[in-house]
Chains A and B, each alone.
Chain A
Amino acid sequence: MVQNAEVSGNINSNGIEHKKTELSRSNHNLVTVKNLKKYFPFTKGSLFNRKKGQIKAVDDLSFNIRKGETLGVVGESGCGKSTTGRAILHLEKPTAGEIVIDGVDVTRLTREELRCMRPQIQMIFQDSYASLNPRHAIGHIISEPMMIHTDMKQSAMKERVMELLELVGLNPNHYGRFPHEFSGGQRQRINIARALSLNPKFVVCDEPISALDVSIQAQVINLFQDLQKELGLTYLFIAHDLSMVQHISDRVAVMYLGKIMELTTRERLFNTPLHPYTQALMSAIPIPDPVKERQRQRILLNEEVPSPANPPNGCVFNTRCPVAEEICTRSAPEYREIETGHFVVCHKVDAL
């Protein structure tokens, strides 16, 4: 319980004491995920004719996140990207797999140990309004982690709250206001301030900007990047907006039906995508540039996404894949490292 010792105890009220330099993108893995699975059981049919099944929301994921880097996860709705984030933070108990965060296997922790570790591993939710208790003032909301995990005095907490508000670009004097008095972008900043209140190491951002307007998205994205630089944070950034993910991430994982299809650096992913699904996805992103748009060739996929409750045999993408062959319907391709740091799951990748 190393974490516990760090967290409890009186945190210095001028807070953030991260070294700004050495932390950025070291080779040290902060998060290692091995064979992560999350299945949801479901029942179908009437009371007397019940069938049981499993939805494989996340099926056998393995990846790691280096200290100080941002790993982006993209995919369409229902691909399991949110479940992945929630399973890593144990907001959903994983069905199987190993999750090591900063040397601690969180799947083996007791409930109490996990609870004490929570401030180290934080989450920013998509719905900035729903994730704030409407009956609490934001000062209370932001200081809640400190109330739980430290024995800081009221005055010290207030000082820290004001400091955090300033850090995320809000007026420190607004700590007495309630969530409904803020706009969507401001509420997301409040969520960020709370997540940061006990100096987390790892932050999962689950579609944090999807509900925001374009001009506000840019503000929040910039805030994420500034905070990363300043505090040496490590992000798992989940979104469906490829262009934003590309902007903020160092490496990107593309998910489809609970599996990673391709994982590589953002430059490689966007310049030389290897998996047919990534290629189709890339070709479908609208580019705010009329001339480029006119010149583009879109790869149009059949739009019938198979149900995760009943995924296709073999490669999960074979029903929509433009280059699928007989082998793709028979056997599932392996998760292969084609080049250093470039993982692809496809039988045909060599031919492509």
Chain B
Amino acid sequence: MDNNSTGQQIPTGVAASTGLAIDQKQETGLWHFIKYTAHLLARDKAGTIGLIMFVIVVLSAILAPWISPHDPLKQNLRHAKKPPAWYEKGTMEYPLGTDNLGRDILSRIIYGSRVSLTVGFFGVLIASSLGIVIGLFSGYKGGKTDNIIMGGVNMILALPYLVFVVFIAAILGSSLLNVILIFGFTDIPIFVRITRGEVIKMRASGFVESAVSIGATGNRIIFSHLLPNLIGPIVTIATFEMSAMIFYEAGLGFLGLSVPPSVPSWGNMLAAGRKYLVIYPWIATFPGLAIVFTGLGMNLLGDWLRDVLDPRMRRVKK
């Protein structure tokens, strides 16, 4: 595809629909896409805030070694259980205080975002790629194939999710890879359902039928017509699922079933801080806030994406 593919989401408004503005030069390319996105963000404050929150988390994960004030693993019992800077006994050296072993909480939160995002990103990557393939197959084939696949999917969805995940995690043992695989595979049904629903909707809509009528092959219909139109809904759901995975990872960590306790992760930090919740509340509070911050940011972003990527929004308004 040419570089128009980035500029295609631009509703040029009533002007274009009337055909009178048709001789204006159409702007295309990356720069226009950025301008257009900025323009859409300006329209939606919550979306902007969500995006900023998400970017902060991503940047802190990427830049962790450079921005964290301390080594997250370095214990210093002399400075253990230091309160945050604004407390009387707090110092600017440990802005959010230290935990029971004297490790800097801010640094651990910054490093913890790496675990959360890794789990979220790769979990969604596995779930969505397999989910899309199965969903496309199921929706495109229809009939018996579809019934069997959807039967299986609904069975998995009927299981109590958290119990199921905890059970598998307990069997497989705790490691980052296992957590990613567990979330990746257990989340497939969500993507299967979304993909299948969209495919069935698109098959009923005209352009798939008109592709059939010009003699398009099955592959062409799937790759050239169905898949590109799936991007919008999938990206939206992926955002929500990623935030859900971050929550669940923290939950597993809290139960001691996620990454090993030595690795700084938000769930582990919560678990460690639980014992001191009354006396040294900051140990558990800040990782908790980090989880809420990330989750909120991603959900706001997801809501905004849903609006922006919905093809109906691109339709010229009458």
Contacts and interface: CB of A to CB of B under 8 A. Distances in A.
Interface string B275-318: 00000000000000000000000000000000000010011100
Contacts of B18: 183
Contact of B213 (A122, A130, A180): A122
Interface stretch (A19-27, A133-141, A220-228): A133-141
A89 B316 contact: no
A178 interface: yes
B207 A176 contact: no
A182 interface: yes
A149 B315 contact: no
A74 to B, nearest CB: 22
A191 B206 CA distance: 11
Interface string A109-133: 0000001111100110101011111
A123 B207 contact: no
Contact of A186 (B19, B213, B314): B19
B164 to A, nearest CB: 28
A195 B19 CA distance: 22
B37 interface: no
Interface in A162-204: 171, 174, 176-178, 180-183, 186, 191, 194-195
A148 B206 contact: no
A116 to B, nearest CB: 6
Interface string B1-40: 0101100100110001111001100101000000000000
A135 B229 contact: yes
A183 B19 contact: yes
A176 B26 contact: yes
Given A127-B206, A134-B311, A135-B8, A180 B215 contact: no
Contact of A125 (B210, B216, B316): B210
Contacts of B314: 134, 180
Contacts of A177: 26
B262 interface: no
B170 interface: no
B209 A176 contact: no
Contact of B207 (A133, A182, A183): A133
Given A178-B8, A182-B17, A133 B229 contact: yes
A132 B217 contact: no
Contact of A145 (B206, B215, B316): B215
B215 A131 contact: no
| Residue picked from A132, A178, A194, most chain B C-beta under 10 Å | A178
Tell me if B's interface is mostly helix, strand, loop or mixed.
helix
B28 A171 contact: no
A325 interface: no
B316 A180 contact: yes
A133 B221 CA distance: 11
Contacts of B211: 133, 144
B224 to A, nearest CB: 8
Size bracket, chain A contacts: 35 or more
A82 to B, nearest CB: 12
A117 B215 contact: yes
A91 interface: yes
A123 B212 CA distance: 10
A214 B198 CA distance: 34
B4 A176 contact: yes
Given A129-B315, A176-B28, A182 B16 contact: yes
A14 to B, nearest CB: 21
B220 interface: yes
Contacts of B315: 129, 180
A191 B311 contact: no
Given A130-B205, A131-B209, A176-B4, A144 B229 contact: no
A174 B22 contact: yes
A149 B28 CA distance: 30
B143 interface: no
Contacts of B28: 176
A148 B223 CA distance: 13
B311 A115 contact: no
B4 A131 contact: no
A130 B207 contact: yes
B213 A116 contact: no
Contact of A131 (B11, B12, B207, B316): B207
B214 A194 contact: yes
Nearest to A114: B215
A136 B8 CA distance: 8
Given A135-B8, A176-B4, A176-B28, A130 B215 contact: no
B228 interface: yes
Contacts of B228: 133, 135
Given A148-B215, A148-B220, A182 B19 contact: yes
B4 A115 contact: no
Nearest to A7: B215
A182 B224 CA distance: 22
A182 B21 CA distance: 10
Contact of B215 (A149, A186, A191): A149
A115 B217 CA distance: 8
B225 interface: yes
21 contacts: A89-B213, A115-B216, A116-B215, A119-B214, A125-B210, A129-B315, A130-B207, A132-B210, A133-B228, A133-B229, A134-B207, A135-B5, A176-B26, A177-B26, A181-B12, A181-B22, A181-B316, A183-B17, A183-B19, A191-B210, A194-B210
4 nearest A-B pairs in the assembled complex, by CB-CB distance:
A118-B215, A131-B206, A130-B206, A181-B16
Given A118-B215, A176-B2, 15 more contacts: A118-B212, A118-B213, A122-B214, A123-B213, A125-B209, A129-B315, A133-B211, A133-B225, A134-B8, A135-B229, A144-B224, A145-B214, A180-B12, A181-B16, A183-B18
